[in-house]
Amino acid sequence: MSLTVRILIALVAGLVCGIAIAEWGGAWDAAIVGVAQPIGKAWLGGLQMPLIPLIFALLVTGIAQAATTARNNGLAGRAIGLFAILLVGAASVAALTGPLLLTLWPVPEGAVGALVGAGPVTGVPDVRPSAEWLLGFIPVNPLKSAADGQVVAIVLFALIFGFAVTRIAADRRAQLTGFFQALADALLVVVNWVLWLAPAGVFALALVAGARSGLATAGALLHYIAFIVALCLLVTLLVYPLAVLLGRIGPGRFARAVFPAQAIAFSTQSSIASLPAMIQASDGPLAVRETSRSIVLPLAISLFRITSPPANLGVALYVAAMNGVDLGATQLILGVLVAAIVSLAAVGLPSQITFFTTTGPICLAMGVPVEALPLLLAVETVPDIFRTVGNVTADMGVARILDQRDATTR
């Protein structure tokens, strides 16, 4: 039985037990919750423990490798540049439409404050633009920034450090990236150990949530799935006009070309499994030259996941809404930037680890509680289907766009 299935079973069992305790527990209610809550919080703390150093190590190695690739190949460099623009753009779509969608279709009544260990929050820390606020982004002491959970400062330092690594001698660059890759590998082992205990942790957290909020928690989870799926579908649909306008291809032709790969992505939740169909579409109806396709598609599968920033930012927006957190424009801008950058840190990681390494920093940067993330992980299977479909669609779209641009400049 896969870890995802075990976590989902633990979530359902915890919610059912929690609701039953709330209805019929009587005097035992407080005692059972008092035992379960520390267990859930201890597991969540273990999950947060390696998050900051893992993000730093993954960003340094990812940026160093991407910059080296871009420097060695002109088309690859243009591809990475387009990836960066589209990732920021996709996150911006979520920042603009997510709050509007939650206003028109709010979190179910009774779910606000339902998160484990988090009561209703009326606001976030004051981050209004000012000289002191801007200086807070400068990691004067990176270790202190890491200890204080200042994610934006750590991400900025990782960006600067990663690009600096590309400027040193090749042998030393290899040693340094090798060290950070080894550090990331070791931290991933720690994360896997913690995730092995995920069913117990999720069961405890779900039991407390069910006991406190009853069916409102289950309703919020279903509402959450629909919200994230809606954001993924919106970003996927926006790929079509981009491909038509910039790739100079008819909308019907593009839709027919990407459909087989989308069907495989929907059924497998894997971009790599969809690669043969993507190659076939590129060689056929998309008419992408082999010289472009052989560079862009592998690079896109490795680095470019267009639905990750909007979906991950959507997670933070939803958790904020559940906790009554009022987000301003500054928090949304921070969320967009961090979401776009940390999507690079998720390359090649299992979905359970990817969820925490991408959503955790966004929540921390925006001042949003992270206690709900384990419960949302348990139902991530459905949104992940639509994430993958969107990613595959965008990969073929950028292949067509870059091929047409490259052909025009020659």
pLDDT digits (tens, 9 = 90+) for 81-112: 898 899 999 999 999 999 999 999 888 766 55
75, 296 contact by CB (below 8 A)? yes
CA atoms within 13 A on the CB side of 58: 25
Tell which residue, 101, 326, 389, has the closest CA to residue 224.
Answer: 101
CA-CA-CA-CA torsion sign (203, 205, 210, 216): negative
pTM of the prediction? Answer: 0.79
Chain-wide mean pLDDT for the chain? 81
Residue 371 DSSP code: T
Quote the number of domains for the chain.
1
Tokens 């082999």 belong to: 290
Q: Distance between CA atoms of 405 and 249, rounded to whole angstroms?
A: 13
Count the neighbouring beta carbons within 10 Å of the beta carbon of residue 97. 17
Tell which residue, 236, 371, 245, has the closest CA to residue 308.
Answer: 236
The pair of structure tokens assigned to 259 is: 């459909």
pLDDT grade for 118, boundaries at 50, 70 and 90: very low
* Residues 219-267 pLDDT 10s: 788 889 999 999 999 999 999 999 999 989 999 999 999 999 999 888 8
Q: What is the CATH number of the domain that holds 138?
A: 1.10.3860
338, 155 contact by CB (below 8 A)? yes
Burial (0-12, 13-18, 19+ Cβ within 10 Å), 117 = middle
Supply the range of the domain harboring residue 46.
Answer: 3-409
pLDDT (0 to 100) of residue 94: 95
* CA distances, 385 to each of 199, 228, 311, 382 (Å): 22, 11, 12, 5
Give residue 285's identity as a one-letter amino acid code.
Answer: P
Count the neighbouring beta carbons within 10 Å of the beta carbon of residue 211. 26
